[in-house]
Structure 1
Amino acid sequence: MKRKWAVLALLYLILLLCSGCGIVYQEPEESSSAPAPAVTPRPVLPIKPRPAYTPRPTPTAKPKNLNLLTGEPTLRQEAIGMRPVAVVVGNSQASLPQYGISEADLVFELPVEGGVTRFLTLYGDYTAVPEICSIRSCRYYFPVLAAGFDAYFVHWGQDETLTADVLSYLELDRLDGASDRSGLFSRDKTRLNQGYSWEHTGVFNGVKLPEVLQQSGFRLELQVHKSDPIFDFNPVTKLPEGQACTGLTLSLGSEAVSTFQYNEGSQLYYKTFGSQDQRDGRTGKALAFTNVFLLETEFSVRDREGRLDLNWQGGEGYRGYYISAGAAQRICWEKEDEYSSLRFTSEDGMPLHVNTGKSYIAFAAPGAAVLE
């Protein structure tokens, strides 16, 4: 036992001596003469904010009260899904000022014999048609255009040549002042007293139209294939792809020269006729349009009375202009048959997109318009 403790004491003494001499074991150090490897600092990247969550837009349903002629939600409840109304209105200097025209949603201007024109005014809400004057007789291309909108057709007589045949085979629901039993037509006595010719005094009482239609037996609802807007309307106003156009002069006959001037504030084109602003005789409102269409086509004299043939179909090779928001775009146009809608495309065949609002459409000979 004494021997064991002696051995342990001897070992302890040896350890103390080694510690004092500095020969305690250590990890070998790397040579200071060897170059240290280069350390490339890690770039500090800017911290991007986390993008805000944007939900996928949900397709918005068209408002139920969408006016199919303007793209605006203006229809009264009773007019939703119902047919529009197309009315033939005189537009010679002797008929001015007409009334009821400033409330139209779409206005066609069409040449007739004698170097003058007539309007075909369309109202998208049959419950909001005003009193209109002066109602005139139609030529065959007026009911052809009305049929494309599935519209009630309002006129006061027609020429008894080609037009009578066209009215017969189209079988339109129409109201004719020459054979009126509805009480919707009359003569404006004030205009008679003012010296207007008899033919420029015809009045259509659109205010009473809903009551008459309810009792007429006419179909009230639009045909299903006519229940879409007449144009591909833009959700916001866009410039047509073309040249600047802040004004234009349009000649549709020897007594039918109009100008249109663009107002940047209202984004409307204001119409003059002859040398005067064209205004509604009742409301005093100037005729003004968001969209102006000029459809180039041919006319020819058809008979001794000077009545015209008009190419209303267009098709391949037929051009025109779409004018809106201060610019004009060359377009193509066609109407496949009497019951088809007018179709507009860009020159490369893409569907034309149109700004919401009232529109004016003229059928004109090539070169009849001068754009500014």
Structure 2
Amino acid sequence: MNFYQIKKNAMDMGDELRQANEKLNEMLANPQVETADITAQQKVVDSAQERYNVAKKQMDKAEAEEKANLKPDKNAVQMTPEQKKDKAFAELVRKTMAKEAVSNDIYQALGDDDTTGGNKFLPKTVSTNIITAPAENNPLRDISTVTQIPNLEIPRLSFTLDDDGFIQDKDTAKEIEAKGDTVAFSRNKFKVMVGMSETVLLGSDASLTSYVNQGLQNGVTVKERSVAFNPAPTKEAEKHMSFYDPSNNIKTVTGADLYEAITNAIADLHEAYRENATVVMSYKDYLKIIRTLANGSATLYGAQPSEVLGKPVVFTDAAVKPIVGDFSYSQYNYDINTLYDQDKDVKTGINYFVVTAWMDHQIKLANAFRIADVASK
């Protein structure tokens, strides 16, 4: 057995001992339980305690040998910085799953020296990878802003003059007057759970690191996409994050068909936003437009979407209605105070590495966007 298998065996023995003790306490609290049954359960507890003690000694011995093997060897092949990070992150995951404390050495190897002494946050290197390099696609990442700043407050406009008379778009002026000239990002908690089998957990450092990072990246990205394009948010704290929620007062522009609705929406934007506008829509809706415009001709099918609609186009099935606007006024912000934990599904035996994060999506100016829709007949 390798070190991690020995450690898992000790953990299993510990769980068995805990369950036996809990059952004994329940029996003691029940006056209807016979004394003979209590005596029998006490023997079960004693047996579990002896087995745990032996397993714990084996684990302590194996851990001591593991630490001894980690001492520098002059003849050993030196690990690359990437291999060191993989090893450190794999240790972070395994210690979390084993409910053990993560040492400062691991944080330092991952680029976080924890100088405050109170850090329970995924180390900076890992956090940066998860937030900035996802595999799942959130199209807003390429056109929106993504930051990681605690208690972030920013101005609604990127610049100001000594008076607000320079704002030619009167609707924008009214919005700033109503909402204030700064945007304060809030902390909205969500969890990402990466399920893994024991073979993954006991596998190589590189495989474990890649597997967990991929799962965390995908979970974070799907959350970003879902809150921004939720057609009917039910959570009060997430309503301001959705382009479609009525509370954000994003204007809907209609047309006889989808093509006319989108072009009308582009034209309806003030020139300050129209210059940098992007169309975010589903590919299914785009094909409807092409079929209508092509009228049996194949010419348009080879044209770039930006040539057809006159503005850059980004596709996502999450966009139930096309959104047109300057997406520099859409911003995600993460609070760095991320926590990690572990859980286990006792029915399937799958272990979960759980990350609790805090994120907010702010639509800094509603007047920078329009929703395109077909006029009802």
Please give the TM-score of this superposition, normalised by the length of structure 1. Answer: 0.22
Please give the TM-score of this superposition, normalised by the length of structure 2. Answer: 0.22
Structure number having the greater strand percentage: 1
> Which structure has the higher relative contact order (CA within 8 Å, separation 6+)?
2
Structure number having the greater helix percentage: 2
